[in-house]
């Protein structure tokens, strides 16, 4: 005689879903092309240019540590990786150290503007009688 024993095993599987919130920290931007010193003459238009490692990142521009606000004389722009400060009709008063600041990184350069000097010679007509 053969005895059959049947064993039934039941499994219970529970799936749980867990949600994780992860913060991905990006590396800070760095300057891949720094500013370079420039020399100009009065009335010239000059462009200070530098490149960042991250595209389309707004930066702040400074003249001797004072923030530059856009005006007819100073135009600030960025396109892709390139940051630019355009100064029109420069004068000797524009001679300064300029810096471009993005977060905790910055680059700086000196602009030297040469003035135009005129020699005035005073001529006096002397009449002899």
Q: What is the domain range of residue 99? A: 47-114
Is 15 within the bounds of a domain? no
For the chain, the domain total comes to 1
Asked if residue 123 has pLDDT above 90, the reply is: no
Residue 23 or residue 125, greater confidence? 23
Rounded to an integer, the average pLDDT of 112-117 is 86
Whole-number Å distance between alpha carbons of 120 and 72: 32
Is residue 123 situated within a structural domain? no
- Note whether residue 23 is domain-resident: no
In a domain, 17, yes or no: no
For the stretch 28-83, pLDDT in tens is 899 999 999 999 999 999 999 999 999 999 999 999 999 999 999 999 999 999 99
- Examine residue 16 and state whether it is found in any structural domain, yes or no: no
> Is residue 37 domain-resident?
no
Are 107 and 36 in contact, with CB atoms under 8 Å apart?
no
Structural contact between residues 105 and 116, judged by C-beta atoms closer than 8 angstroms = no
**Cα 31 to Cα 81: distance, rounded to the nearest angstrom:** 9
Q: Within a domain: residue 67?
A: yes
Question: What percent of the chain stands above pLDDT 90?
Answer: 64
pLDDT in tens, 78-100: 999 999 999 999 999 999 999 99
- Report the CATH number that the domain containing residue 93 is assigned in CATH: 2.60.40.10
Mean pLDDT of the chain: 86
Query: What pLDDT is attached to residue 46?
Result: 97
Residue 42 within any structural domain of the chain: no
């Amino acid at each position: 005689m053969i005895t059959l024993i049947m064993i039934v095993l039941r499994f219970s599987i529970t799936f749980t879903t867990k949600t994780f919130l992860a913060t991905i920290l990006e590396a800070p931007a760095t300057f891949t092309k720094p500013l370079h010193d420039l020399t100009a003459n009065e009335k010239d238009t000059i462009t200070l240019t530098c490149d960042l490692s991250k595209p389309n990142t707004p930066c702040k521009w400074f003249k001797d540590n004072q923030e530059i606000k856009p005006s007819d004389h100073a135009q600030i722009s960025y396109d892709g990786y390139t940051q630019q400060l355009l100064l029109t009709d420069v004068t000797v008063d524009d001679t300064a150290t300029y810096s471009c600041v993005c977060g905790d990184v910055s680059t700086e350069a000196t602009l030297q503007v040469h003035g135009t000097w005129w020699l005035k010679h005073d001529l006096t007509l002397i009449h002899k009688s």
